[in-house]
Amino acid sequence: MDPRIPPVDQQDLVRIRRQLHAYPELGWELPMTSALVREELDKAGIPYEADKYGENTVVATINPEKTGFTIGLRADMDALPITENNQDKPYRSRHEGIMHACGHDAHTAMMIGTARALWSIRDQLSCRVRILFQPCEEGRPSGARIMCEHGVMDDIDCIVMCHVNCIDKTHVISSNPGTTNATSVAWKITLGGRAVHVASPHMGVDALAAGVKVYNGIQTLVSREVDPFDTCVLAVCCLNAGTTVATNADECVLRGSIRCVRDETMAWARARLEKLTRSVAEETGVTWSLDWSGDPLPSAHNDPALYEAFTASARKVVGEERVILLPPSPGGEDFAYYEQLKPGLLFGLGMRNEEKGACHPAHTKDWDIDEDGLETGVKVFVQFVLDYMDHGR
């Protein structure tokens, strides 16, 4: 362990993480979350800008005068619209229907701890560090995109983020020198029919029957038309139609998402879904519309040189055997917007511990983490800054 890394208050990291977990907020509406971040930065005397790069954004700066080289560190802060099941946890969500089920509470707590640690050794740092607390990673418009549009990356030379997981054991660090996350977009198909009495189906147009055709058609698109060595997920997540057993459905709405590792595959999948929907509509006589959540989220790619430098730092903290290769994920990550502007790196931090119940998938009601990993995350961030701070010279 590098002797320059200051002591990290693990108990305080747990306190902050549990407070965030108990009071989760969604999207851009993060008044309590951003207030907690500002309060903790104020207590440490760390300067920051609030709301400059979008509502409820907070950007702290270590060594603002050292403009020769700037490292960016990012934490996302928003939660998910999920009802938590962890009844035995004293820090269970107090906001019904909202839960930190993806670890952003841990990300924020670790970044507060990182800011404190770097601030305490700021005189030893030869660079500037910009620490981004970002809203709305899970929703749209993307927090990363909006912060970039407001110029947050203008004076940042490279940027690093952590995403915790309950796949790898606690303290295991994972990363790779290429693609980390897929391009993604959500979609909504609306099919319009004509309702008639169930005894006279030939007099109407059954939107539900058309919806089933679209659903079944989607199931064969990927399996029959995508290279098996490529990655494409085309998922139907919701199908809603009809209100009574006495008439056929006059409307059917399907919702889902597309996830692709390659941007070219995403373009194909979007066009193919539209072609399928139009074909079914023409065959069955329904009206149709296909709406997108916006432009696809870009795929995320680690900078290879940054990867080599980061993994060398990570090994100093957790050891050679605990630094592993991160496989690309079909999940989206809006960190990609930062990476479109400057070299970036995403790394994973394992927090799996079956004895503590930290073994459930993200985005589920039973998600929890092994908080022992929080201190590790802070030390890895600090070690990287110490090792990479002279890169710009």
Ordered per-residue pLDDT tens for the chain, 393 residues: 788 999 999 999 999 999 999 999 999 999 999 999 999 999 999 999 999 999 999 999 999 999 999 999 999 999 999 999 998 999 999 999 999 999 999 999 999 999 999 999 999 999 999 999 999 999 989 999 999 999 999 999 999 999 999 999 999 999 999 999 999 999 999 999 999 998 999 999 999 999 999 999 999 999 999 999 898 999 999 999 999 999 999 999 999 999 999 889 999 999 999 999 999 999 999 999 999 988 899 999 999 999 999 999 999 999 999 999 999 998 889 999 999 999 999 999 999 999 999 999 999 999 999 999 999 999 999 999 999 999 966
Total residues found in the chain within this entry = 393
Around 141, how many Cα atoms within 13 Å sit in the side-chain half-sphere?
9
- Could you give the CA distance from residue 271 to residue 250 in angstroms, rounded to a whole number? 26
Scan for tokens 């058309």, then name that residue.
210
CATH code where residue 261 lies: 3.30.70.360
Residue 255 falls inside a structural domain: yes
List the Cα angle 241/246/247 in 5-degree steps.
50
- Whole-prediction pTM: 0.91
- Same domain flag for 109 and 206: no
> Does a cis peptide bond (omega within 30 degrees of 0) precede residue 177?
no
- Same domain flag for 226 and 317: no
Residue 3 falls inside a structural domain: no
- Same domain flag for 194 and 271: yes
Per DSSP, the three-state class of 225 is: helix
- Same domain flag for 195 and 230: yes
**What pLDDT does 193 receive?**
95
**What pLDDT does 26 receive?**
98
CATH code where residue 138 lies: 3.40.630.10
Domain total of the chain: 2
Residue ranges in 29-122 assigned as alpha helix (H) = 31-44, 104-120
- Among 292, 310, 326, the domain boundary falls at 292
Residue 35 falls inside a structural domain: yes
Residue 75 falls inside a structural domain: yes
Residues 59/153, Cβ–Cβ less than 8 Å: no
- Same domain flag for 267 and 304: no
- Could you give the CA distance from residue 57 to residue 28 in angstroms, rounded to a whole number? 9
- Same domain flag for 116 and 246: no
**What pLDDT does 295 receive?**
87
Q: How far is CA 152 from CA 50, 58, 71, in A?
A: 12, 11, 12
**What pLDDT does 263 receive?**
87
- Same domain flag for 279 and 360: no
- Same domain flag for 122 and 204: no
**What pLDDT does 65 receive?**
96
Identify any residues that bridge with 187 across adjacent strands, giving them in sequence order: 256, 292
* Cα–Cα nearest to 389, from 138, 83, 131, 129: 129
Residue 342 falls inside a structural domain: yes
Around 62, how many Cα atoms within 13 Å sit in the side-chain half-sphere?
32
- Could you give the CA distance from residue 11 to residue 375 in angstroms, rounded to a whole number? 9
Range of the domain at 66: 10-180+300-388
**What pLDDT does 294 receive?**
85
- Same domain flag for 241 and 332: no
* Cα–Cα nearest to 351, from 163, 176, 175: 163
- Same domain flag for 215 and 351: no
Residues 78/26, Cβ–Cβ less than 8 Å: yes
45, exposed or middle or buried, with CB in 10 Å at 0-12, 13-18, 19+? Answer: exposed
- Same domain flag for 71 and 164: yes
